Amino acid sequence: MLEFARSLAQEGAELVRSAHERSAPWTLSSKGRRDLVTDVDRRVEDHLAARIRRTCPEDGILGEESVRQAGRSGRVWILDPLDGTTNFVHGHPMVCVSVALADGYAGPPAPDAAFDACSSGFFSPAALPRPLLGAVAAPLLRELYWAEAGAGAFLDGRPLRVSAAADLDEAMVATGFAYRRNELGNNNLDNFCRLALRVRGIRRGGSAALDLCYVAAGRFDAFWELYLKPWDVAAGMLLVAEAGGSVTDFSGGPRAIEGVEIVASNRRLHD
Q: Residue 214: helix, strand or coil by DSSP?
A: helix
Instruction: Report how far residue 118's alpha carbon sits from residue 14's, in angstroms, rounded to the nearest whole number.
Output: 34
Instruction: Report how far residue 85's alpha carbon sits from residue 111's, in angstroms, rounded to the nearest whole number.
Output: 30
Consult the annotation and say whether 83 binds a ligand: yes
Consult the annotation and say whether 39 binds a ligand: no
Consult the annotation and say whether 64 binds a ligand: yes
Instruction: Report how far residue 222's alpha carbon sits from residue 134's, in angstroms, rounded to the nearest whole number.
Output: 19
Half-sphere exposure of 234 (CA within 13 A, CB side): 32
Would you give the end-to-end CA distance of the chain in angstroms?
A: 34
> Going by C-beta distance under 8 Å and a sequence separation of 6 or more, which residues neighbour residue 24?
none
Q: Residue 75: helix, strand or coil by DSSP?
A: strand
- Kindly tell me the sign of the dihedral angle through the C-alpha atoms of 258, 264, 269, 271: positive
> Going by C-beta distance under 8 Å and a sequence separation of 6 or more, which residues neighbour residue 104?
74, 127, 128, 129, 130
Q: Binding site residues, as ranges?
A: 64, 80, 82-83, 232
Q: Annotated binding site for Mg(2+), which residues?
A: 64, 80, 82-83, 232
